[in-house]
C-alpha cells in the first residue's frame, strides 16, 4: 500500500548490530551437526503480492535449502523497520525506497541495502481520464494530493524534472474522496493498489503514470541488513539474497499458490483478486526486471545527484554508505564476471 511512503522519512535510531543466530538442525545435537542461520525478515507493509517472492522462497524451501531458518514478519502502518533492526528484533528488513537508505547513511547508521528486488519503484500518480494527459508533464498546474513524507521524497524529483511548484500540493490522508470529487486532482498511489481500488469503488479506470517509466531512479523492495551481520556471516547474506531471487523468479514465472497461501494466512484483509491483479502488474510493468536483486553504482549515484541538487542531502554525504554491491545473487555475479 502507498502508506509505506510515510515510513520513508522516519528517523532511525543508532542501529545496533544484529549478530547472526545459529541453531542445530532438528534432531542433530552433536557439535558436528549441520547448523542453520536464523533470519527474521520484516516487510514494509501487510502481507501482499509485493512481498510474493520472499514468501515463495519460504514456502518452496529455497531458504531452507541454503541453510537458513527464515521467518517473514509482516509490517504495517506502525512498523518502523530500522527500529526493528536497531533493537535486534529482526536480522533483516525491507526498504520501500531509496530515500530510506539515504536517510540512514546521513545518520551514519550501520545498516545497508544488500539487494533491490524491484528495479522500478511502484510509486504512481493517478489522474482522472483525460485525453489531454499524455505524460506527467501535462499535470503542471493541477492540485497534487500528497502525504507529508512524499513532499520530501519523490515530489523533490517531480519538481526538479517538471518544474512543479509547492503551491500545487494538497494534504493527502489516504482517503480517495478528495481525489474522486475533483476531476483535476492528481493523487499519489502504488501501482499495485490504488488504481485497482479506484476501479472497484469509483467504477472508472484512472490515468496512471508510473514514475519509474519516466526516469525516477529509486529502487524498491530492498533487503536491509545490519553491518554486524554482513561482517560476521556474509555467507548467510548471500544465501538470503540467492534464495529471494529464486523465490521471485518462481513467484512471477511459476505457480504463485505456495506464496499466496502464506500471504492470505498472514493478512486476513487480503483477497485473492487483489493478489492476482497485483502480481499481473508486477509482471507486465517489469518491476522486478530480468535480474532479481541487482543494484548498481550508476543508479544510486543518479538518485543521490537529484536529491542532493534539491537540498535534501548535503553534496558531501558519503551516499555509498547506504548500500553494498558485494552480495549480488550468484547467477548475476557469474554474468558480471
Predicted local distance difference test score (pLDDT) of residue 335: 43
Q: Taking 70 as the threshold, does the pLDDT of residue 184 lie above it?
A: yes
Q: Which of 162, 193, 214 is the last residue of a domain?
A: 214
Q: Taking 50 as the threshold, does the pLDDT of residue 15 lie above it?
A: no
Cα–Cα distance, 216 to 336 (Å, whole number): 25
Predicted local distance difference test score (pLDDT) of residue 4: 55
Is the pLDDT higher at 92 or at 27? 92
Predicted local distance difference test score (pLDDT) of residue 13: 39
Q: Taking 50 as the threshold, does the pLDDT of residue 166 lie above it?
A: yes
Predicted local distance difference test score (pLDDT) of residue 86: 83
Co-location of 224 and 210 in the same domain: no
Q: What's the pLDDT tens digit per position in 236-259?
A: 999 999 999 999 999 999 999 999
Predicted local distance difference test score (pLDDT) of residue 18: 38
Co-location of 11 and 114 in the same domain: yes
Is the pLDDT higher at 48 or at 3? 48
Q: Taking 70 as the threshold, does the pLDDT of residue 332 lie above it?
A: no
Co-location of 152 and 78 in the same domain: no
Co-location of 199 and 173 in the same domain: yes
Cα–Cα distance, 263 to 201 (Å, whole number): 24
Co-location of 241 and 96 in the same domain: yes
Q: Taking 80 as the threshold, does the pLDDT of residue 260 lie above it?
A: yes
Q: How confident is the model at residue 92 (pLDDT cuts 50, 70, 90)?
A: very high
Q: What are the two backbone dihedrals, phi and then psi, of residue 280, each rounded to the nearest 5 degrees?
A: -60, -40
Q: What is the mean pLDDT of residues 307-326?
A: 95
Co-location of 264 and 313 in the same domain: yes
Q: How confident is the model at residue 127 (pLDDT cuts 50, 70, 90)?
A: very high
Cα–Cα distance, 222 to 241 (Å, whole number): 10
For residue 110, give its domain range.
Answer: 2-119+218-336
Predicted local distance difference test score (pLDDT) of residue 56: 98
Q: Which of 172, 189, 214 is the last residue of a domain?
A: 214
Co-location of 272 and 131 in the same domain: no
Radius of gyration from C-alpha coordinates of the chain: 20
Q: What is the mean pLDDT of residues 18-22?
A: 41
CATH code where residue 331 lies:
3.40.190.10
Co-location of 179 and 249 in the same domain: no
Co-location of 198 and 281 in the same domain: no
Predicted local distance difference test score (pLDDT) of residue 213: 94
Predicted local distance difference test score (pLDDT) of residue 34: 60
Cα–Cα distance, 99 to 96 (Å, whole number): 9
Smallest CA-to-CA distance from 221 within 315, 122, 90, 146 is with 122
Cα–Cα distance, 165 to 173 (Å, whole number): 20
Co-location of 102 and 130 in the same domain: no
Co-location of 139 and 250 in the same domain: no
Q: What is the DSSP letter of 13?
A: P
Q: Taking 50 as the threshold, does the pLDDT of residue 74 lie above it?
A: yes
Co-location of 179 and 231 in the same domain: no
Residue pair 112/225 in contact (Cβ under 8 Å)? The answer is: yes
Q: How confident is the model at residue 39 (pLDDT cuts 50, 70, 90)?
A: very high
Q: Taking 60 as the threshold, does the pLDDT of residue 294 lie above it?
A: yes
Buried b (16+ CB within 10 A) or exposed e, 275-300: bebbbebbeebebbeeebbbbeeebb
Predicted local distance difference test score (pLDDT) of residue 29: 39
Cα–Cα distance, 235 to 256 (Å, whole number): 28
Q: Which of 156, 187, 214 is the last residue of a domain?
A: 214
What is the percentage of the chain residues whose pLDDT exceeds 90?
Answer: 82
Predicted local distance difference test score (pLDDT) of residue 14: 36
Query: Domain total for the chain?
Result: 2
Q: How confident is the model at residue 5 (pLDDT cuts 50, 70, 90)?
A: low
Q: Taking 50 as the threshold, does the pLDDT of residue 43 lie above it?
A: yes
Amino acid at each position: 500500500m502507498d502508506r509505506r511512503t510515510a515510513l520513508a522519512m522516519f528517523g532511525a535510531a543508532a542501529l545496533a548490530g544484529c549478530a547472526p543466530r545459529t541453531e542445530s538442525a532438528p534432531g542433530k545435537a552433536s557439535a558436528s551437526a549441520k547448523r542453520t542461520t536464523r533470519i527474521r525478515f520484516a516487510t514494509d507493509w501487510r502481507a501482499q503480492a509485493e512481498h510474493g517472492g520472499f514468501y515463495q522462497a519460504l514456502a518452496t524451501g529455497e531458504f531452507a535449502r541454503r541453510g537458513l531458518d527464515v521467518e517473514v514478519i509482516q509490517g504495517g502502518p506502525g512498523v518502523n523497520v530500522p527500529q526493528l533492526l536497531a533493537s535486534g528484533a529482526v536480522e533483516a528488513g525491507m526498504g520501500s525506497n531509496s530515500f530510506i537508505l539515504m536517510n540512514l547513511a546521513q545518520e551514519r547508521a550501520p545498516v545497508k541495502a544488500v539487494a533491490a528486488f524491484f528495479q522500478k519503484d511502484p510509486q504512481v500518480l493517478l489522474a482522472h481520464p483525460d485525453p489531454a494527459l499524455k505524460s506527467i508533464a501535462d499535470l503542471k498546474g493541477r492540485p497534487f494530493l500528497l502525504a507529508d513524507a512524499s513532499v520530501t521524497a519523490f515530489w523533490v524529483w517531480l519538481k526538479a524534472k517538471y518544474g512543479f511548484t509547492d503551491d500545487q500540493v494538497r494534504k493527502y490522508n489516504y482517503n480517495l474522496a478528495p481525489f474522486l470529487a475533483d476531476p483535476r486532482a492528481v493523487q499519489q498511489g502504488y501501482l499495485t493498489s490504488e488504481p485497482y481500488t479506484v476501479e472497484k469503488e469509483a467504477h472508472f479506470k484512472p490515468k496512471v503514470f508510473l514514475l519509474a517509466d519516466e526516469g525516477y531512479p529509486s529502487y524498491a523492495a530492498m533487503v536491509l541488513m545490519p553491518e554486524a551481520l554482513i561482517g560476521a556471516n556474509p555467507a548467510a547474506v548471500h544465501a538470503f539474497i540467492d534464495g529471494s531471487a529464486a523465490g521471485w523468479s518462481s513467484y512471477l514465472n511459476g505457480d504463485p499458490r505456495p506464496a499466496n497461501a502464506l500471504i492470505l494466512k498472514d493478512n486476513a484483509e487480503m483477497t485473492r483478486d487483489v493478489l492476482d491483479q497485483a502480481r499481473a502488474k508486477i509482471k507486465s510493468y517489469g518491476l522486478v526486471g530480468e535480474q532479481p536483486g541487482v543494484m548498481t553504482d550508476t543508479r544510486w549515484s543518479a538518485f543521490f545527484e537529484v536529491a542532493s541538487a534539491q537540498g535534501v542531502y548535503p553534496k558531501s554525504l558519503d551516499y555509498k554508505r547506504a548500500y553494498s554491491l558485494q552480495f549480488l545473487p550468484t547467477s548475476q555475479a557469474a554474468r558480471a564476471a
